[in-house]
Structure 1
Amino acid sequence: MSARESSKHIVVIGAGVVGLTTAVKIQEKGGYSVTIVAETFPSDPKTIRYTSLWAGAHHVSHADGDKKQEAVDIATFKVMWDLSQQGGEAEGSFLRLEQTDYYYDGRDTHLDWMPNFKPLPESNLIDGAKTGASFTTVTIDTPVYCNYLLSRFLARGGTIVRASVQHISQIAQGGGHVFTSSRAGKGPHVDAIVACPGLGARTLGGVEDKNVYPTRGQVVMLRAPWIKTGKTASHLADGLWTYIIPRRSGDVIVGGTKEENDWYPVARPETTLEILQRALALCPDLAPEEIRAQRAPTVDDLRSIVIEEGCGFRPSRKGGVRLDVDWVPGAKGKIPVVFNYGHAGGGYQSSWGTADIALDLLDKSLA
């Protein structure tokens, strides 16, 4: 009997950054044979149904003193820092840079664990900011990184199935290949399911978590390879924050918005204008140098370097991330379902840390 045949068979539902990271973590543990079942994969064209490609993204923890959240964010940062080092396995997915955060509410940043962390003196704050900090972090080229995770998963022996799962029982009773006509009913039985459905947890049968809701975020991508540092200004009073996220490729993501329970699937022109206005105010260097040399830039000066505008639905959840276990009927008795979803806007920042917890829950359930 081959190692694969003797392994426990795990199906991961969902191929966003959380599902991919969790699948990689389980597959590389050893003793598990993992199949990802998802409707959309990162190599597909961008769609509103796949949030992970729309993210900025950078590693700036949102824990704000929550020790449990901070622990998973720190664990994730350590992995990403190793991956991003020169010659690292996924160096091309990341850009290491100096990040400056400004806070209008005077909060304590709680980010002193980040490399080169320094509170900003009052003289270095922007207008209206009460506190701030600088540190070194990584930005993530999300399409490149998600495809790296997928290729790493496949290279380690993982398999994928493209399907729209209607109910968790379909997987529990039929296995990961129940949706493929050539292998339906012929694949191995499933020993456990790991559910990472993101926003799909609202409607996935057997889960139907009504605490899950979308937080719409709109972004604009600019071509500005001269921008080498990241900036964020938090406007908590009105639910907005402005960010400048350069990528290794020379593209820069600017945003952003937080619109709870807003399902509008494409960019609103008026929001794009408002984002560009805020971004230019925070970082006038976004405009091309030849314009800045002559006069103060305007939003119109940014339009020629706009590559794309769009939006994504962050998978938010009342009560925060769900990390627990339930049991459902399988082909040969009850099997565990490990849940890992509800990351809101922190999926990238906490992906490896929550994957660690999901793997521990899986190990204990199958012990």
Structure 2
Amino acid sequence: MSSESSPRNIVVIGAGVVGLTTAVKLQEQTGYRVTIIAETFPTDPKTIKYTSLWAGAHHVSHAAEDAKMMAIDRESFEVMWELSAPGGAAEHCFLRIPQADYCLDGRNECLDWMPDFKQLSGDALLGGAISGSSFTTLTIDTPAYTAYLLARFISRGGTIVRGAVQHISQVIEGGPNLFRSGKSSSEPVDALVVCPGLGARTLGGVEDKDVYPVRGQIVIIRAPWIDFGRTISHVEQGLWTYVIPRRCGDVILGGTKQDNDWYPIARPETTTDILQRCLALCPELVPPSIRAQGPGTVDDLRPLILEEGCGFRPQRKGGIRLGVEWVKGRGGQGLVPVVFNYGHGGGGYQSSWGSATIASDILANSLANPPTPGSLTASAE
């Protein structure tokens, strides 16, 4: 490995919101020189291969009674709340809004820690919901926010390399410059942090078959008069309807949760279904001038459509993989830690900073406490 006095060379695979957040977290610590290798970056045109741009996204934790996951989500919310503060460098990426959540299954979302939290009484519930709550949260303009993370990473000395990694051994032996110049780096990679999202299914050296896509289709409309969020859901039945406004005046309507559905473009019939559900949940979506004349219809929403699309949430059986394995380094190097941070499903934004902290702690501990001589692998998850 590198000498004690020189920065450790860390390579992050993946530039989705989880990879970017983890890379920022590491780059801003003393002692690391971080490179991101990714096939796609947030400033590229939208593609089905890059899920982070298709997310809604708002911060509403789905951890419920999972204390570990809730701690991860709470840390992420606290960081994002600070980033969204008026006058801050990232204020343009967020919109603070009043949010109402309605639960058709009557579950307790365990969100009483959110600002301005209130449990809704029966006469305030909509759409047949059994329980519900209101609170203040924030929404995330995903193209703006991922671009902000990328710019923040580069401005603090981080390096990006475009490349399609087929096997983690390529990075460990050749270093990140292998994908830029076709030549092996003279300096070894001290650690690898793997944040490939759905790519964890096929990335050589990982090949995690517990990772699978959950297709989510959305409709983006222009409705700057909407300054609140609403969600109604039933977890067991996979039903989720949401209205998520952004600071720019766009509103994200959704959604769907379709396991192992690989269809890469919006289905017209699903768009119609989303519009119908969202209109029932939020009649205010119809332009005020039309509503003044009577109840609106789905046809009143169609002229507002800016875009339809879908993304593949990188779900994992058993939840997020946060752990480390040790693999052979290049000749004469010894063992190299490979830290994993993937499998966030639809909660990548909600859990990004919290999981980045855990991945960072795992990395620091691994570099400080390498396995004993003769060991080939060691893992913690």
TM-score by length of 1: 0.98
Look up the equivalent residue of 1:56 and give its one-letter code: G
Distance in 1 (alpha carbons) for counterparts of 2:292 and 2:178: 62
Partner SS state of residue 101, structure 1: strand
Look up the equivalent residue of 1:267 and give its one-letter code: A
The answer as to 2:320 corresponding to 1:321 is: yes
Who is 2:265 aligned against? 266
Who is 2:37 aligned against? 37
Who is 1:134 aligned against? 134
Distance in 2 (alpha carbons) for counterparts of 1:189 and 1:237: 48
Partner SS state of residue 81, structure 1: helix
Distance in 2 (alpha carbons) for counterparts of 1:237 and 1:335: 41
Distance in 2 (alpha carbons) for counterparts of 1:116 and 1:255: 25
Who is 1:351 aligned against? 352
1:23-62, aligned counterparts within 5 Å? 23-62=23-62
Partner SS state of residue 28, structure 2: helix
Who is 2:188 aligned against? 189
Partner SS state of residue 281, structure 1: helix
Who is 2:20 aligned against? 20
Who is 1:279 aligned against? 278
The answer as to 2:105 corresponding to 1:102 is: no
Distance in 2 (alpha carbons) for counterparts of 1:88 and 1:28: 18
CA deviation after TM superposition for structure 1 residue 5, in Å: 8.7
Q: Is the 8 A contact 1:74 1:353 kept in 2?
A: yes
Deviations 1:37-82 (A, max 9, x none): 0000000000000000000000000101100000000000000000
Q: Is the 8 A contact 2:51 2:311 kept in 1?
A: yes
1:84-233, aligned counterparts within 5 Å? 84-181=84-181, 184-233=183-232
Distance in 2 (alpha carbons) for counterparts of 1:186 and 1:229: 50
Partner SS state of residue 338, structure 2: strand
Partner SS state of residue 132, structure 2: strand
Partner SS state of residue 178, structure 2: coil
CA deviation after TM superposition for structure 1 residue 36, in Å: 0.1
Who is 2:287 aligned against? 288
CA deviation after TM superposition for structure 1 residue 359, in Å: 0.2
Q: Is the 8 A contact 1:177 1:187 kept in 2?
A: no
Partner SS state of residue 70, structure 2: helix
Q: Is the 8 A contact 2:127 2:281 kept in 1?
A: no
Deviations 1:253-273 (A, max 9, x none): 000000000000000000000
Who is 1:299 aligned against? 298
Cα gap change, 1:19 to 1:4, in 2 (>3 Å): farther
CA deviation after TM superposition for structure 1 residue 145, in Å: 0.1
Q: Is the 8 A contact 1:117 1:136 kept in 2?
A: yes
Q: Is the 8 A contact 1:173 1:329 kept in 2?
A: no
Q: Is the 8 A contact 1:72 1:354 kept in 2?
A: yes
TM-score by length of 2: 0.94
CA deviation after TM superposition for structure 1 residue 237, in Å: 4.6
Who is 1:241 aligned against? 240
CA deviation after TM superposition for structure 1 residue 83, in Å: 0.2
Distance in 2 (alpha carbons) for counterparts of 1:324 and 1:238: 31
CA deviation after TM superposition for structure 1 residue 127, in Å: 3.1
Who is 2:329 aligned against? 330
Deviations 1:116-174 (A, max 9, x none): 00000111111311110000000000000000000000001000000000000000111
Q: Is the 8 A contact 1:212 1:342 kept in 2?
A: yes
Unaligned runs of 5+ in 1: none
Distance in 2 (alpha carbons) for counterparts of 1:360 and 1:160: 23
Deviations 1:222-266 (A, max 9, x none): 000000000000033531110000000000000000000000000
Q: Is the 8 A contact 2:176 2:185 kept in 1?
A: no
Distance in 2 (alpha carbons) for counterparts of 1:321 and 1:185: 32
Question: Which shifted more, 161-170 or 227-236?
Answer: 227-236
Query: Post-superposition, which runs of at least 4 consecutive aligned residues in structure 1 deviate over 2 A?
Result: 235-238
Distance in 2 (alpha carbons) for counterparts of 1:23 and 1:88: 21
Distance in 1 (alpha carbons) for counterparts of 2:194 and 2:235: 32
Cα gap change, 1:278 to 1:36, in 2 (>3 Å): same
Q: Is the 8 A contact 1:176 1:187 kept in 2?
A: no
Distance in 2 (alpha carbons) for counterparts of 1:176 and 1:330: 14
Distance in 2 (alpha carbons) for counterparts of 1:137 and 1:236: 21
Look up the equivalent residue of 2:42 and give its one-letter code: P
Who is 2:65 aligned against? 65
Q: Is the 8 A contact 2:56 2:252 kept in 1?
A: yes
Who is 2:379 aligned against? none
Q: Is the 8 A contact 1:198 1:342 kept in 2?
A: yes
Unaligned runs of 5+ in 2: 369-381
CA deviation after TM superposition for structure 1 residue 4, in Å: 12
Who is 1:310 aligned against? 309
Question: Which shifted more, 184-193 or 285-294?
Answer: 184-193
Q: Is the 8 A contact 1:232 1:244 kept in 2?
A: yes
Aligned length: 364
CA deviation after TM superposition for structure 1 residue 216, in Å: 0.2
Look up the equivalent residue of 2:284 and give its one-letter code: D
